[in-house]
């Protein structure tokens, strides 16, 4: 008899000749989940729990990916919801097209001396952290005129990164451990083309490091490392680091007529 774990979908092969006649439990050797087995319901076919798992998984395949909503500082303590709820579905796309048109219009006046980031073009930040720091970081950055998107899980983080171009991604070492959030967000960043990666400032929030340590940032393949004990200084550290980063790429951005991050 083959038993499928409802959590990790590992296939467990059991000898039917040695199965007890009464209900029993089997612990999955892969994820240590306890699986209840009803002998009467599994003879000659797969267990009911496996059938239910497959049905849920099949329906989830067709669900539309959920992107991280924009943080609303006025809704702290309430259920978070996207700020564009109730607006026409194409409004965001129109706004992006208009923003791109305005950026293109600026190129004629700044050609040859590099662009400057327009005052209305606020940096977009994706916050992928544990609940302990999530709202605190979002509130601090909103006060510094960032457009903040707050991901509660790995799926929301990936959805937002694939839907919009983020200027800054802040990743916590304890983000969504059940779904391996750190691994998937890091993989998404590493899969970016070099031209896209240069336009993204990647911040890693982890304990046991010194804030703004360039050597640790280099080893972690990120642009900035922050110790959780220094979260209150995150806006200042981020602003200073981005300023240095833009200065490093100033000649490069000028040659390609690109605005700084």
Tell me, what's the pLDDT at 219?
A: 93
244 and 183 together in one domain = yes
Note whether residue 67 is domain-resident. no
Q: What percent of the chain has pLDDT over 70?
A: 71
* CA distances for 192 relative to 106, 117, 145, 261, angstroms: 27, 22, 26, 16
Mean of per-residue pLDDT scores for the chain: 78
With bands split at pLDDT 50, 70 and 90, how would you rate the model's confidence at 100? low
199 and 107 together in one domain = yes
Average pLDDT of span 26-38? 75
With bands split at pLDDT 50, 70 and 90, how would you rate the model's confidence at 234? very high
49 and 143 together in one domain = no
DSSP assigned state of 179: G
- State how many domains the chain has: 2
Does residue 230 have a pLDDT over 50? Answer: yes
pLDDT digits (tens, 9 = 90+) for 105-133: 554 444 445 566 666 778 999 999 999 88
pLDDT digits (tens, 9 = 90+) for 169-228: 999 999 999 989 999 999 999 999 999 999 999 999 999 999 999 999 999 999 999 999
With bands split at pLDDT 50, 70 and 90, how would you rate the model's confidence at 102? low
As a whole number of angstroms, the distance between CA 194 and CA 92 comes to: 26
DSSP assigned state of 65: P
Tell me, what's the pLDDT at 35?
A: 75
Tell me, what's the pLDDT at 171?
A: 95
Average pLDDT of span 142-157? 92
Tell me, what's the pLDDT at 81?
A: 43
Note whether residue 183 is domain-resident. yes
Tokens of 117: 């980031």
**3-state DSSP assignment of residue 216:** helix
As a whole number of angstroms, the distance between CA 221 and CA 63 comes to: 33
pLDDT, greater one: 241 or 94: 241
Tell me, what's the pLDDT at 92?
A: 63
Q: In the listed set 40, 61, 82, which residue is the last one of a domain according to the structure?
A: 61
As a whole number of angstroms, the distance between CA 78 and CA 80 comes to: 6
Note whether residue 68 is domain-resident. no
Question: Looking at residue 214, which CATH number applies to its domain?
Answer: 3.40.50.2300
167 and 241 together in one domain = yes
Q: In the listed set 61, 85, 106, which residue is the last one of a domain according to the structure?
A: 61
Note whether residue 66 is domain-resident. no
166 and 79 together in one domain = yes
Tell me, what's the pLDDT at 5?
A: 77
Note whether residue 106 is domain-resident. yes
98 and 188 together in one domain = yes
Tokens of 202: 């990647």
42 and 86 together in one domain = no
Q: In the listed set 37, 61, 85, which residue is the last one of a domain according to the structure?
A: 61
56 and 82 together in one domain = no
Range of the domain at 215: 73-255
Tell me, what's the pLDDT at 39?
A: 64
What are residue 105's phi and psi, to 5 degrees? -65, -30
Tell me, what's the pLDDT at 90?
A: 58
109 and 238 together in one domain = yes
Could you tell me if 36 and 25 are in contact, meaning their C-beta atoms sit under 8 angstroms apart?
yes
């Amino acid at each position: 008899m083959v038993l499928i774990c409802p959590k990790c979908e590992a296939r467990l092969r059991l000898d039917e000749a040695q199965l007890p006649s009464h209900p029993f439990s089997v612990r999955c050797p892969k994820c240590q989940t306890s699986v209840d087995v009803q002998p009467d319901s599994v003879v000659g076919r797969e267990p009911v729990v496996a059938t239910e798992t497959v049905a849920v998984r099949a329906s989830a395949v067709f669900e539309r990916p959920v992107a991280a909503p924009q943080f609303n500082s006025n809704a702290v303590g309430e259920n978070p919801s996207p700020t564009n709820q109730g607006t026409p579905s194409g409004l965001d796309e129109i706004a992006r097209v208009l923003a791109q048109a305005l950026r293109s219009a600026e190129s004629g006046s700044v050609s040859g001396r590099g662009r400057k980031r327009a005052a209305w073009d606020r940096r977009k930040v994706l916050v992928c952290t544990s609940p302990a720091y999530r709202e605190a970081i979002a509130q601090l950055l909103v006060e510094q005129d960032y457009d903040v998107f707050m991901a509660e899980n790995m799926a929301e983080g990936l959805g937002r990164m694939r839907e919009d171009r983020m200027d800054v991604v802040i990743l916590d070492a304890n983000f969504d451990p059940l779904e391996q959030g750190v691994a998937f967000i890091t993989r998404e960043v590493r899969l970016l083309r070099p031209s896209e990666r240069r336009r993204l400032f990647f911040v890693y929030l982890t304990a046991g490091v010194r804030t703004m340590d360039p050597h640790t940032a280099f080893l972690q393949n990120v642009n900035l490392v922050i110790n959780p004990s220094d979260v209150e200084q995150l806006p200042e550290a981020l602003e200073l680091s981005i300023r240095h980063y833009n200065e490093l790429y100033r000649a490069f951005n000028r040659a390609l007529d690109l605005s700084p991050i």
